[in-house]
Amino acid sequence: MKLLLIVGSGDLQQFGKIVIVRRNWYSPIGIKIMENLDNQYLLLTPGPLSTSRTVREAMLKDWCTWDDEYNKGIVEVIREQLVELATGVEGYTSVLMQGSGTASVEATIGTVVPANAKLLVVNNGAYGERIGQIAHYLNIAHTIIELGEVAQPSAEQVAEILDSDASITHVAMVHCETTTGMLNPVEAVCDVVKSRNKIMILDAMSSFGGIPLDIGKLGIDFMISSANKCIQGVPGFGFVIAKQTELEKCAGRARSLSLDLYDQWLCMEKNHGKWRFTSPTHTVRAFHQALQELQDEGGVEARYQRYASNQLILVAGMEKLGFKCLLDKSLHSPIITSFYSPEADEYDFKKFYNLLKEKGFVIYPGKVSNADCFRIGNIGDVHNEDMHRLIDAIEASMYWA
């Protein structure tokens, strides 16, 4: 049993069984200031996210990248669990890639699309745009559906372009576009793509593990995500869950040595989880723990329910304080929400950000080109009571009101 003393300015100290949390703000709903007492603030962003203490503690042990305890006991288990999370359909495999989530997107685009093929990119935000940039850098023939940042793609638009350009062989789209928080209609788009026998690539960076989705039933050929999103691990690697028959066709296609998705997969297959180059061992071990905690929570459906209720609490509380959502609620995802900035002349995002940070919350600036807004995420080790505390903190930080 630990004794919690709230004494003043902003850090945390522990003396034996006495934990002292120094803060300069008190919640009007009680003495419980922070759920994670050893975190200085909650990260209310699209990633990296606030993680559990047990996930962070999993990184305290060193691992040998050649050892079976690591490769067979951790990496291979992760690969199997990822496929099980993604689909109940047979014929899928997974591969882990060092680096950011974008590195895994680039590895996929650069390995999967052959030299004589053409990619259709659905772009309604910064991350769809990034796929187009990758195709440009890699000299891959491509067409981009430019939708702006506040419009959903429609299956009819995708169908029209595919029917008018027979040279298109692959389609890439972001599932949850965290530029705005919009959830794109993946089922409808996949129906169109697969009915025309095209390869479907889904960037599910900010949705996998937090929104129920069976990629096998949808016919998705390659799905990309990252360790530090809804699985609630820490940054350091991404992963791709692929239809094995399609991945096997990719030998020799890659435009990069270190981002060769096929060779990475083949190395892991032949060597029981061994990575081609230095593995981010501590991050991988933390991810193994995070997967266990996802299972303990009740799986993807339970996590989705927590995220969705977090988001509903957030929007209701923000609207009560006078804030307006950027998107119509029918377009919202349970991942992150964009709000218009207050119109008051005195409002300044940086000042607002710092006031919230002092109270234990970090939010995100806006990323929409034609709207002054900011974003608040509600994924990670974040719970309903945290969202209520956030609303109290925002009300206390509205210096312009």
Instruction: Give the model confidence (pLDDT) of 154-185 as tens digits.
Output: 999 999 999 999 999 999 999 999 999 999 99
Q: Are residues 308 and 199 in the same domain?
A: no
Residue 201 lies in a domain: yes
What pLDDT is stored for residue 226 in this prediction?
A: 98
User: Strands, DSSP E only, in 111-258?
Assistant: 119-123, 142-146, 170-174, 176-177, 182-183, 199-203, 222-226, 237-243
What pLDDT is stored for residue 37 in this prediction?
A: 56
Q: Are residues 189 and 126 in the same domain?
A: yes
> Phi, psi (5° rounding) for residue 375?
-125, 145
What pLDDT is stored for residue 313 in this prediction?
A: 98
Q: What is the CATH number of the domain that holds 364?
A: 3.90.1150.10
Residue 212 lies in a domain: yes
Which residue, of 272, 296, 320, is where some domain finishes? Answer: 296
- pTM for this entry: 0.91
Q: Are residues 278 and 319 in the same domain?
A: no
> Does 79 show up as a binding residue in the annotation?
no
Q: Cα–Cα distance between 240 and 103 in angstroms, integer?
A: 11
Q: Are residues 272 and 310 in the same domain?
A: no
Condensed to tens digits (0 to 9), the pLDDT of residues 231-264 reads 999 999 999 999 999 999 999 999 999 999 999 9
Q: 339, 287, 351: which is closest to 56 by C-alpha?
A: 287
What pLDDT is stored for residue 36 in this prediction?
A: 46
Q: How many residues in the chain? A: 401
Residue 35 lies in a domain: no
Residue 37 lies in a domain: no
| Cα-based torsion angle of the residue sequence 347, 309, 33, 44 in order, rounded to the nearest 10 degrees | -50
What pLDDT is stored for residue 314 in this prediction?
A: 98
Q: Are residues 221 and 291 in the same domain?
A: yes
Q: Cα–Cα distance between 313 and 328 in angstroms, integer?
A: 16
Residue 170 lies in a domain: yes
Which residue, of 270, 296, 322, is where some domain finishes? Answer: 296
The segments of the chain whose pLDDT lies below 50 read: 1-36
Q: Are residues 215 and 274 in the same domain?
A: yes
Q: Are residues 354 and 228 in the same domain?
A: no
Q: Mark out the alpha helices in 233-365 (DSSP H runs).
A: 244-247, 261-270, 281-297, 299-320, 349-358
Q: Are residues 264 and 388 in the same domain?
A: no
Is residue 250 classed as helix, strand or coil in its secondary structure?
Answer: helix
Residue 85 lies in a domain: yes
User: Could you give the number of structural domains in the chain?
Assistant: 2
Residue 2 lies in a domain: no
Could you tell me which residues come within 8 angstroms of residue 129 by beta carbon, excluding any fewer than 6 positions away? 123
Which residue, of 296, 320, 339, is where some domain finishes? Answer: 296
The CA distances from residue 43 to 114, 273, 362, in Å, are 39, 32, 5
Q: Are residues 131 and 62 in the same domain?
A: yes
The domain of 94 spans: 53-296
Is residue 361 classed as helix, strand or coil in its secondary structure?
Answer: strand
